A and B are shown apart, each in its own frame.
Chain A
């Protein structure tokens, strides 16, 4: 096994696209029924049977397992039942089947591992129509866990984050190396945003003054803020994540 040369965490998260059967972007943007079909095609027989039962239980809420409900137990064990690479999708489906509302999602998030919290963030656009769950997005954006930050800037944040917080979320992505392709509705929200353009310009100047390269993603977002550019069409599913940020 060859030695891996030391790299900063920022470099590490700017790599090629994930190999998940269902990518993180898809989790928040794909209809749960379609997500289920796609996940099923990747699961082994035992995992598929487990998931089917977990979804049934989530739909019928059959009692408790010690201090937690059965469907919350299924949520916790999704990784070891379906495999780590399929756990996010399985958890989103369980949350959807349980019809978890903002209160339930808040409880699950607050009592969850980082992986469970990520799934809650992906599930928000499917389950919470209003801004009630915004504190969860704000919590995730305060962390330095890039997996949580990436999950926080999905369609729910695009819909509900106020301009100040949204700009800071974009800047945080640039700071922590989360590819801005993870930011839902980036084209629409960045368009003609003069304050975002100023913040990006100041950040680029700070990098340059320090003799450090400016992330390619920064230029990409800066271009989107141009008020003379053609306004973008409404958001569609973006391409694969992680192909842009090349800060080194």
Chain B
């Protein structure tokens, strides 16, 4: 089973996780920039974080045979802090980088006017850079948040089929699907989705344009949840091809919109690391 985790915060994880993920079949990840738990106080700390997502973290991932790409943005929560907002002016020089495959995570946290402004501005940045957008839907007041998100997307220059609506659940999947966007589901140990509910949604709404992620971060989360969903799908009568569509081909198709995904045909990374004396994949497979 080859797995592409389209949303995972590896900066917050250990090398043990990378090793376990590789053993479970994970060969590619996308790491969206997000809130670090401790609020930032200036654009400079965003820039160091962006640099890490374009430098150290892909190197770490390559050590474990996993291709690493990222999405960059001002996250919804910190869009409310005027000390952080100027990072929007720095984003254009980052959004041209090879490993940046979307603008994200953007969207709503508390649905404030500041979040409206940041979301609209960053959807425009995505359109300007021919990138898709990874849009986080809020944890609180989720359905209203999704509707407001879809309104802003409709008013933007970005076509809905270039938008991945993430953290969906039973209450939001229908309207998200009707919008024409890609459908992201985060599978967590306690909150968000779980494996069995995920399978039920796949049965009811189909697997077209559906992406499943672990969204693993510094909180209670599990970087192997993508594999657990694949196993649950197989146990419930889905075929290997269905699993491959959800866990590999759909994320490749969505982030492939950027034209910047560097993966080889076997689902192993074709990044510089494998050519710079780090030949774990050539040696092991």
Residues on A close to B: CB < 8 A?
A: 1-7, 9, 12-20, 24, 65-68, 73, 76-80, 84-85, 87-88, 111, 113-115, 117-118, 143-147, 150, 178-179, 241-242
11 of the cross-chain contacts (CB-CB < 8 Å) are A4-B285, A6-B19, A15-B279, A15-B282, A18-B276, A79-B99, A84-B275, A143-B56, A146-B278, A147-B272, A147-B276
Report whether A67 and B280 are in contact in the complex, using a CB–CB cutoff of 8 Å.
no
The minimal Cβ–Cβ distance linking A87 to chain B, given in whole angstroms, is 7
**Given known contacts A19-B275, A146-B277, what 8 new A-B pairs fall within 8 Å (CB)?**
A1-B27, A2-B284, A16-B282, A79-B99, A80-B259, A113-B97, A145-B55, A147-B273
B10 proximal to A (CB < 8 A): no
Closest to A143 in B: B56
Report whether A113 and B277 are in contact in the complex, using a CB–CB cutoff of 8 Å.
no
CA distance A145 to B60 in the complex (A): 8
Tell me which residues from 264 to 279 in chain B have a Cβ below 8 Å from any Cβ of chain A.
Answer: 266-268, 270-273, 275-279
Contacts of A144 in B (CB 8 A): 56
B65 proximal to A (CB < 8 A): yes
Contacts of A7 in B (CB 8 A): 280
Report whether B2 and A1 are in contact in the complex, using a CB–CB cutoff of 8 Å.
yes
CA distance A73 to B272 in the complex (A): 19
Q: A87-B98, A115-B98 are in contact. Are A66 and B285 (CB under 8 A)?
A: no
Q: A76-B97, A145-B59 are in contact. Are A84 and B271 (CB under 8 A)?
A: yes
Closest to B96 in A: A76
Q: By CB atoms of chain B within 10 A, which of A20, A73, A85 has the most? A: A85
Contacts of B77 in A (CB 8 A): none
Residues on B close to A: CB < 8 A?
A: 2, 19, 22-23, 25, 27, 54-56, 58-59, 63, 65, 89-90, 92-93, 96-99, 259-260, 262, 266-268, 270-273, 275-285
CA distance A146 to B260 in the complex (A): 24
The minimal Cβ–Cβ distance linking B280 to chain A, given in whole angstroms, is 5
Q: By CB atoms of chain A within 10 A, which of B266, B282, B284 has the most? A: B284
Closest to B284 in A: A4
| Consensus secondary structure, chain A interface | loop
Report whether A115 and B272 are in contact in the complex, using a CB–CB cutoff of 8 Å.
yes
Contacts of A115 in B (CB 8 A): 98, 272
Q: Which 5 A-B pairs have the closest CB atoms?
A: A4-B284, A79-B98, A114-B55, A113-B54, A15-B279
Report whether B55 and A113 are in contact in the complex, using a CB–CB cutoff of 8 Å.
yes
Report whether A15 and B275 are in contact in the complex, using a CB–CB cutoff of 8 Å.
no
The minimal Cβ–Cβ distance linking B49 to chain A, given in whole angstroms, is 14
- Contact partner of B98 (CB less than 8 A), chosen from A4, A80, A145, is A80
The minimal Cβ–Cβ distance linking B99 to chain A, given in whole angstroms, is 6
Q: A2-B284, A146-B278 are in contact. Are A67 and B93 (CB under 8 A)?
A: yes
Report whether A78 and B285 are in contact in the complex, using a CB–CB cutoff of 8 Å.
no
Report whether B98 and A78 are in contact in the complex, using a CB–CB cutoff of 8 Å.
yes
Report whether B54 and A18 are in contact in the complex, using a CB–CB cutoff of 8 Å.
no
Contacts of A1 in B (CB 8 A): 2, 25, 27, 266-268, 285
Report whether A12 and B280 are in contact in the complex, using a CB–CB cutoff of 8 Å.
yes
Contacts of B268 in A (CB 8 A): 1
Contacts of B63 in A (CB 8 A): 9, 12
Report whether B285 and A18 are in contact in the complex, using a CB–CB cutoff of 8 Å.
no
Contacts of A145 in B (CB 8 A): 55-56, 59
